[in-house]
Amino acid sequence: MRRILVTNNPLIKEKYEGKIDIEYYPESYIDILKKVRDKVHKGCKILTHPLSGSVKPNETPYKTVMISEDTSDLDMESLMIIESSIETALKFLKNQKTPEWNERINRDFQVIDLSLIEPTLKDNIK
């Protein structure tokens, strides 16, 4: 079963490129969730929750989600999770946009995103 990281985190790309399939998009948090939704519609299944961790969607610009390409059928559970995640993220962003963080703080958010996905990667890297 092919596992893919859908991410906008350059630290994930830098550290794991060539070790696991990565789809890197230098886009917004919400755009990453929408990419995952599009993949779910094409038969992918969500393996890590899109809203994992305690960092709110309007605090961090970075998000990584692991999906698998193991089914051709629409996985309704994955669809419900991603639709709900998008709705929640949009609510947060409507109330307050993500600040334009400086480079040091952005790096901290990249490290947080990495730390949330790394436990899952141990069993899934090449």
Please report, for the chain, the start and end positions of each structural domain, with discontinuous segments joined by +. Answer: 3-121
**pLDDT confidence bin for 126, thresholds 50/70/90:** low
pLDDT at 1: 80
**pLDDT tens, residue by residue, 71-93:** 678 999 999 999 999 999 999 99
Q: What is the DSSP string of the chain?
A: --EEEEE--HHHHHHHBTTBEEEE--S-HHHHHHHHHHHHHTT-EE-S-TT-SSS-TTT-S--EEEEE---SS--HHHHHHHHHHHHHHHHHHHHSPPP---HHHHHHHHHHHHHHHHHHHTTT--
pLDDT tens-digit profile of 100-117? 999 999 999 999 999 999
